[in-house]
Amino acid sequence: MEDQLIRDIRNKNEAALRRVYAAHYPMILNMVVTNSGTETEAKDVYQEAIIAFYERLQQADFSLTCKIKTYLYAVCRRIWLKRLSEKRKAPVRLDEAEVFPKIDDEMNILDENDAQFEQMKKSLSALGEPCATIIQDFYVSNLSMEEIRDKFGYTNADNAKNQKYKCMQRLKKLFFKEV
């Protein structure tokens, strides 16, 4: 998926660049705001990083060797440290961990969440029908048990709820078998 996004951005596809922008902005906003910054500063830092990312991708010899999220985070972190240094009128070393005490932990959590999300997607696809649809209808689309009953033709909402429970048990087995 990321390879396709990179190809699209290299081909000057604005929609792909907007998807990248929207996907990773909350992470950068959190990083800047929790480290003495404002939302406006976070937007400025992120915009600068997105432009740098876009320009690097236009270079034929550039090869991204990490996830887009990791690259953008590193660029934004560097930009923000430089701005903090300018604000304080004293240099801030880039390896100064105490300035960003939570960032490394947050990145580890984000990476772990991404891995679990991918595992859940695999487990859901292996679950089969009607279970995958029932779970998505209930947890993602927020359908009520009555709506699921009607959609799948169950005799009552309790039967639909019982089926959802069985599907969740199967999903848990698939998810934890892979973990």
pLDDT digits (tens, 9 = 90+) for 36-68: 889 999 999 999 999 988 888 888 887 877 788
CA atoms within 13 A on the CB side of 72: 26
pLDDT at 108 (0 to 100): 63
Overall average pLDDT of the 7-12 stretch: 86
Q: What is the DSSP string of 160-178?
A: HHHHHHHHHHHHHHHHHHH
Q: Is the pLDDT of residue 89 over 80?
A: no
CA 62 to chain centre: 24
The whole-number average pLDDT for the span 15-42 is: 89
Taking the CA of residue 151 as centre, how many other CA atoms within 13 Å lie in the half-sphere pointing to its CB?
Answer: 16
- CA R_g for the chain: 22
Cβ atoms within 10 Å, residue 38: 11
- What pLDDT does residue 156 have? 92
Please report the pLDDT score of residue 150 as a whole number. Answer: 93
Q: How far apart, in whole angstroms, are the C-alpha atoms of residue 3 and residue 126?
A: 24
**Per residue in 91-149, pLDDT tens?**
555 454 444 445 555 556 666 766 777 788 888 888 888 998 998 888 878 889 999 99
The pLDDT assigned to 106 comes to 58
Q: How far apart are CA 102 and CA 65, in angstroms?
A: 24
Return the H-helix or E-strand segment holding 16.
helix 14-33
Residue 96 confidence (pLDDT): 46
Q: CA nearest 173: which of 142, 127, 133?
A: 127
| The residue count for the chain | 179
Q: Which of 9, 11, 95 is nearest to 52 (CA)?
A: 9
